Each structure stands twice: as C-alpha cells, then as structure tokens.
Structure 1
C-alpha cells in the first residue's frame, strides 16, 4: 500500500507519466477531446538534447489534424532524398516524389525531439493543461482487471511527495520505464553487441543539406541527417564492439568514413535494443512509445511510432470516456499497435543483420550493398514499387485488421481502404480536425444517413478521389484517428442496415 504523511492529493481522469513526445501528444489529444488529463515528468522542463530527429509523413498528418503542422514546417529542415555513398550522384534516391499525391507532407522533416517537446508542451500550457515538471513517480497501485478503473501513485517533487488518483494511467516514460517495471511486464527482445555512436556536428563538408546520406567505410557504416545550413548534421555510425570515448570514436569516423567537421555539439555512444513489451495494457495502465517498444534509430521511425501510439490510444480513451464506445474497445490499442511495433522490430533486426556487425565478411557485404543500392534505390523509388516503399517509410501504409486473423471478413470490411488511414484529399483535411467519428462519400452523388448514433457526423460529400483509392459507390465510416473503420456499399444512395449494425457492433459502439 502507498504510505506517506498526508501528502496533497491531485485527481484526474488520465495520468500520463513521461513528458517526451509520446506523453505530450497523448496529453494534447486528450485535452482536445475534452478528457481531464495530467502529464507529469521528473525533468525540470523539455529536453534540450536533439535525440530523435525525424518527423515522418504520417506524424505530420497528425500534427496537421491538431493545427500544428505549419509550426513544425517553419522550424524543420526538410529532407526528401537519400544519398548512398560519398561518390553517389548528388541527387540521390528521391523518396519524397514517391510519396507525392499519397500524403500532403512528402519527405521527412528534421525536427528534433527537443523542438517536438517544446511545441507540444507550450501548446498544452497555452490551452490550460500545463505539464507538472519536476514530479517523479515513486510508487504505483492500479487495478489489474479490464473493468477495474483505479490508479493511485505517489510522486516526489521539490516540495515533497504528492498523491495522484486517476481512472487510468499511461506509461510514456521511456525505455527504462518505471511504470513497466512496476507492472512487472517482460520487455522481450535482444540488445545488439555492436556499439553505435551519435554526434551533432557543425562545419561538415561533402554532405548534402537537403538529403539524408548513407556512408560505407572499410569497417563502419554511418547515416547523416541534415539539421541546418553550414554543414550542421546529425551523424549516427556503427563503431564496433566497444564503448569508445568521444575523441577515439570521432577519429575513427574521420579515418574510415572521410567525414571532417569543425565543431561537436553533442556526442553519445550506446547499444541498440530491439525489444517489445509482452503487453501494452494491464488493467487500468497502458504503455506507449519507448516504454512499449525500442529499436534501431537508423530508419528514423522511433519517435514517430510513439507519436502514433499516443494519437491512437488517446482517441480510444476519449471515445470510451465520452460513452461513445464500450470499455472493451480499449482492447483495440494493443491489438492494433503491438503488431506495428513487432513489424518494425523485425525490419530493423533484418537491417542490423546487414549493417551492425564488425567482422570482415559483413563489412564486405556492406560495401557491396552500397554499390548496388546507389544504383538500384533511385530506380526502385521511381518504379511502381516507389509509392509502396514511400508509404512504409512515411508510416501511412499501416493497416489495422477490422476482424481477428482467421475470421471471415464481412462485407463492410472487404474494401481495401478499411483499416488504413483515410487517404487525404484537398477537401477532407478540415473536417478531420474535429477528431470525431464521421461518414464520408467521394462521389458526385449523395448518400442517405444510415441508422447511426447522433454523435457520428456526416455524411460529408467530397469530390471523387483522383488516385482511385476511395470508391464512388461506398459510404465510409472514419474513426477520430483518421483510419477507415468500415466501407458500406451504396445502392441508390442507401447502405444495408445489417452492414452498418455489424460494423458498429465490431467497434463496440454504444447507442
């Protein structure tokens, strides 16, 4: 039991432990959806280190839904290409073009973690939901049953202990997550033997300012991310099996990768973990971001996966709190998001099988891969495979299965659009900003409103989708997170009552 001498008590509907990008995004979406939420963190304020860097296309779409995309773009360094090898053509492989038309935000935005935290925390404070900085979780009690909604924690601050009581708690407190440890949840996976190093450098020459770049040396592999003019770059490289000092590591980079620089802003060495929590939920407590999964930073996917965890979970919690969905709907969070993490871990593990070994054989294969990829990558991205690969990199090709694997797919889920995020068009961005359940048509005709609860908005009628991703003979049910929940065939503007009823039941819709 929690014991202390009469500390002050705070109450909230949802307590979020951790004010990194994941925790802050969770808090902001909950606040926008009208849920009482409190974010706490033992830090004194947003991190000042750059850490994670890349904001991918899908995360930009979420920022756009929150009305913050322009602020990200104003502070970001865009990168739409990747140069493979120092001798590669300056243009490199163009992944932004492969994403054009499929997302309003093609390419990657280099908008470091500290900037994400500043933007999100400042927005929360401006909207009356300030983060409680300097408040560190020390103990936790929580209901373990699916219907046991009570959490009580003790947190320590400069002015002493504070007791916090909530219905639910979200652990967004990083890879070493005290919340996950308190739940005694296994963090399954491996720690790679190889040591990676990271440095923020200035005055780097030979690196394009608007592109990512991959370098291959005799023993080392590196990826660079542009951070601004004047040769300001983030360099992430494979060092080997030992933890080096800064000068030793940078000397090896100069020698093996022929990278020169004028100034070092930040340096760190670390081992890469590939781990996923055995469960993303236990009763009233949920895990998100690095608390739930960690993997290689090379692909620039980690922070984005956490932001999307947050967006998904916060919208589910808001729907349940509003009485729109039954409590069983919360099971969708782990069912939909954990496979995303597992797929990402598998992909990065395979990549590490190629790049994260220091033996001579692997070094030879890396150099051969450089020669092949420098020629092949631009051609593949320009081919019909390009949009698919661009979508995977941008994280907007994620699919959530409407029914459990092995079950017969009902008619309302047979459309290929079901389970993926609604393809953005020039007309639908504004209505999605309400983060509500909606009905959409993409047809010159009209559709009748079926028998759905009054809090489901629409149907909204939009012009046909020029890329053919959305059918003109369908009425689409869209979730608040922007994913397509169901697709109803239309006959003379009407959808089958049984299709609508079955789809709503599958999503635990109430009313």
Structure 2
C-alpha cells in the first residue's frame, strides 16, 4: 500500500518481470498470503507464442494452483514423438506408455507462452492483485539492516506517471536474459553463444508431418523439430549454416521454407510468426545476493531443444515462493531462503550443460556427426526406437518431464540419492489433491491413520493418511514430511515420539 507522506510504495516482495516465471512467483506468493508487487516495462503480456511445451511437473504445479483445467481446455496435446530421417518418419514413441504411473500428465502439453502468461495474469487478478505494466526498473539499492539477514531493497521505477519508489523486504529478478536486477547486483552471467542461427516458424496448413506429435527429423547437415500447436498450426524449429544465409548474412523466411521442403519434405501455406536468433548457453554465478534473487532466463539461458526453459523458470518461481512464504508468513529464519540457490542452481547448471552438449551434437559438422545423421540414423534409428523406450522409457520421461529432479535435503544426504526424500512426492493416483493447500504436511501410505495424525498434531501440521502406494515406492512403515512445494523433506518411522521425529523438526526449523 502507498505511504502518502513519502509517496513510497511498500511490499514484502517486489517481482521485476511479468513473464511466466515472474507471474508464477506472484500467483504463488498471493495464494500463500504474501504481500507481493509485480512490475514490468512492457505494456501487457507477451503476444508472440514463444515457448510452447508445458512438461508434466509444470502441469502438476498448475493443478496445485487450481489452474490445470483451464490449461487442458485450451492446450494442443502432443501424444508422442515421431523421429525420422529426411522425408521419412521411422516410428513413434507414445508418451502415455513411458510416463505411466509417474504423473497424471503423461503428454507434453503444448500451451504457448502467451497463453501461460494470460492464464497467470487472470489468476493474479482473481487474488486481488494486478501487474503494474509500463514500470521499468531504473535503480536497485540494497539497504543494510541491523542484522545480516535484515537487509531490504529500494527500487526506483520509471512509470507512465514518472518515477516511483518501492521499498520491499525482498526483490526477485524475473526480467529475462538481459536482467536489470542481475546486472544491478553485478552477478556474472557466464557462458557461450553458438555460432549457428536458430529459426522458429509458426506455420499453418503444414504437410509432411505426423499430426498431434512432436516430429524430429535429421539429415546430414540439418535437423527439424516440429510441435503441434492446434488449429492446424505447427511450430517448426531448426538450425541453419552460413551457406543458408543471404548475402547480407540474414535468413529470410523464404529460405527456411525452401530448406524444410527440400530437406524434410515439409510444406506450409503461411507463417504467423517467424524469428531467428543465436543460441546462448549461460548460467548466473549465483541465484541469491542478500535480499535479492533471480529466476528463469535471468538465471540461465540455453537451447530450446527439449522444451525445458519455461518449465524450469516456472518451477524455480514455485520453489522460491514457497521458501519466501515460509519466512515471511511462517516465521522461519532467513536461512531457509539459502535453500533456493542450493536446490535450484544445480538444476540450472545441469540443464545448461546438457542442452549445450545436446545442441553441440546435433549441430556438429564433424565427419563422424555427419555420418551418424546422414547414414547411421536412417538405418539404425528404427531398431533403436524399438529398444530404447523398453529399456529407458521411464527414465527418459522423468528427465524430460522434470519429475526426476532431486534436492539434497540435509548434509547427511551427501553421496546418496534417496528414492523418495528430496524428490517431488510420488504420485499414487489419489494423493495430489491435498497439495492444493500449499502447506507443510505429514503423509502416510498404508500407515494406521491415528499414528499419522498424532505425529502431525505434535508438529502442528496437516495429516493425510492414504492407502498403500500401488506402485510400491512409498514405504508403509514410514511417514513423510511434505513441503508446500510438494517435495518430500524427510522420512521417519511411523511411531509417534514426543515433539515429532527429529528429522522433521530439523526441516521445520529452516
């Protein structure tokens, strides 16, 4: 609310940037009872389609926020992936098959960035808040506090009515790859820019591809990814070499049209959006600086191969919002916020390294890479396609869907990867509805309900007793401490002890 005497606005959290990450952060904070203000220099949500794929883990977040039905009503489903060589597809992998039992959302949901943003803007409005559009960050100052954890920020914004000052306890930069927040903090953004030119075409009346599927095609010198967008539209995405550019070093849309027709047998009538850019792979040196944080493209950028970028930003925002609410509303110590960088920066580092390596492999001009793409793949691809889903199907789905992410919940976790603790709660078919409260909870699966209730009561938490896990992953002799973000923070014996299990108390202490 505004302070009339000083003409200064105040908030618990100032979010700079109203793309998918910033909006997810603001929606979650509002739901969790945090006084949040979100600003953006644009005049409204993105109009271009931009990022497309919403992975299973992000769909689970939308379910937790009560928004998933809106996504499902407007999405274009991608039910499988169809690889191929040149003009020919050589098989199909069904997402439903390899994702069975892992998540209720076994497809890649094609729901373009502009729609994600409108969905979240509407959800924010329903919470009684709105984005302050046309407010650009001009200056950010960290104000030291009496304690190291009591610093705050003062932000100067340039708005339609002149300068505005905002004082906030915390500030989050969700303002993209050229983040003013990150640059104000002097956080290095190290990495490389690829030499090749990427193109994106949102095309209509496309022929030569398998419908309702992600098509992936290779030739000796090129690759093509195609995503269904619904209403007869398809996203075409690929890389071109210098020889494909015109004399001025540019890539006209007509050149792309000719290239995809010649290399892949794909034709289309018109393009509703066409853009080119150079791909960068960069990771911020840190995700937190005192009372300031960065999320999404402000923290990492990479190739769009794999449809991971927007999803990673949404999940970072969700993670950080829950941590901020634990401190601001729940009264946990400020050190609880250190977990954001500890948990999320390794995910960003792995993502950047993986996409960089994958992008390098599919664009390499080495003799071996050309041989694989041009000769080996057409012959061996159908065989590999038969074997790979059977051997690694669930693991592949877990990586792509971002349901395999693992956090170290305690220093004692070093050197071991628990199959449950540190991961998002395993889906059993009936246990995700209770996560909508976004509260700390105690869960038991096949545990006597009064025991679950007694342990939860001793800690002042919600209790939820479920039937045994039909997939056998959740131990019926244990109870699990589940965080508001849906991750399992600890496990303990299902025997009540005074004050609750020590591992639970440790996590609740921040």
Instruction: Give the alignment's TM-score, normalised by structure 2.
Output: 0.92
2:190 pairs with one of 188, 191, 212: 188
Structure-2 change in CA distance of 1:238 and 1:360 (3 Å): farther
| Alpha carbons of structure 1 residues 196 and 371: separation in structure 2 relative to 1, 3 Å | farther
1:298 deviation in Å?
A: 1.1
Cα deviation, 1:133-161, whole Å, max 9, x if unaligned, reads 11111111124785143111111112211
- Equivalent residue runs for 1:387-398 within 5 Å: 387-398=394-405
The count of corresponding residues between Structure 1 and Structure 2 is 493
Deviations along 1:351-384, whole A, 9 cap, x unmatched? 122112345553332233454344313432133x
- Determine which of 480, 483, 494 is the counterpart of 1:479: 483
What are the superposed Cα offsets for residues 450-479 of structure 1, whole Å, 9 maximum, x if unpaired? 377654211x11011000111110011000
How far is 1:243 from its partner? Answer: 4.3
CA contact (8 A) 2:444 2:479 kept: yes
Q: 1:340 aligns with which of 347, 360, 366?
A: 347
How far apart, in 2, do the equivalents of 1:290 and 1:453 lie?
41
Q: Distance in 1 between matches of 2:383 and 2:95?
A: 14
Change (3 A) 1:235 1:7: farther
CA distance in 2, matches of 1:405, 1:278: 25
Deviations 1:72-108 (A, max 9, x none): 011101112111114224x512233111211011110
Question: For the structure 1 residues 200 and 374, does the alpha-carbon distance in structure 2 shift closer, same or farther, using more than 3 Å as the test?
Answer: farther
Distance 1:265 1:488, change over 3 A: same
Q: 1:203 to 1:359 in 2, by over 3 A?
A: farther
Name which of 400, 424, 429 aligns with 1:426. Answer: 429
Matched, 1:221 2:223: yes
Partner of 2:315: 308
Matched, 1:205 2:212: no
Provide the rounded CA distance (Å) in 2 between the counterparts of 1:282 and 1:407.
Answer: 25
Report the Cα offset of residue 336 of structure 1: 0.3
Give the alignment of 1:224-235 within 5 angstroms.
224-230=226-232, 232-235=233-236
**Compared with structure 1, are the counterparts of its residues 174 and 33 closer, same or farther at alpha carbon in structure 2 (3 Å cutoff)?**
same
Change (3 A) 1:203 1:7: farther
Is the contact between residue 240 and residue 358 of structure 1 (CA under 8 Å) also seen in structure 2? no
Residue matched to 2:104? 104
Aligned to 1:74: 73
> Does the 8 Å CA contact 1:475/1:495 hold for their aligned counterparts?
no
Which residue does the alignment assign to 1:138?
138
In the alignment, is the contact (CA less than 8 A) between 1:397 and 1:420 conserved in 2? yes
1:456 corresponds, among 453, 457, 461, to: 461
**SS of equivalent to 2:313:** helix
1:489 aligns with: 493
Q: Aligned residue for 2:300?
A: 293
**In the aligned structure 1, how far is the partner of 2:379 from the partner of 2:124?**
48
- 1:331–1:257 Cα change, 3 Å: same
Determine if the alignment matches structure 1 residue 375 to structure 2 residue 383.
Answer: yes
Q: TM-score by structure 1 length?
A: 0.92
SS of alignment partner, residue 340 of structure 2: helix
What is the match of residue 322 of structure 1?
Answer: 329
Distance 1:348 1:415, change over 3 A: closer
Q: Is the 8 A contact 1:329 1:507 kept in 2?
A: no
| Consecutive unaligned residues in structure 1, runs of 5 or more | 1-5
Farther off after superposition, 478-487 or 77-86: 77-86
Tell me which moved more, 440-449 or 99-108: 440-449
Q: Distance in 1 between matches of 2:238 and 2:490?
A: 44
Distance 1:328 1:477 in 2: 19
Aligned-partner Cα distance in 1 for 2:415–2:304: 38
Distance 1:500 1:312, change over 3 A: same
Q: Pairwise mapping of residues 20-99 of structure 1 onto structure 2 (< 5 A)? A: 20-85=19-84, 86-89=87-90, 92-99=92-99
Distance 2:496 2:191 in 1: 46
For 1:426 and 1:214, locate their aligned partners in 2 and report how far apart those are by CA, in whole Å.
32
Counterpart Cα distance in 1 of 2:47 and 2:75: 16
- The alignment's C-alpha RMSD in Å is 2.1
Unpaired segments ≥5 residues, structure 2:
243-248
Deviation of 1:426 (Å)? 2.9
Correspondence list, 1:275-286, <5 A: 275-286=282-293
Q: Using the alignment, how far apart are the partners of 1:7 and 1:381 within structure 2?
A: 63
The answer to whether the Cα contact below 8 Å between 2:8 and 2:165 also exists between their aligned partners in 1 is yes
State the distance in 2 between where 1:451 and 1:216 align. 54
Shift of residue 388 of structure 1? 1.5
2:148, 2:72 → 1: CA distance?
A: 40
Q: Is 1:469 aligned with 2:473?
A: yes
Q: Which residue is equivalent to 2:18?
A: 19
In 2, distance between residues paired with 1:254 and 1:233?
15
Alpha-carbon distance, 1:35 to partner: 0.2
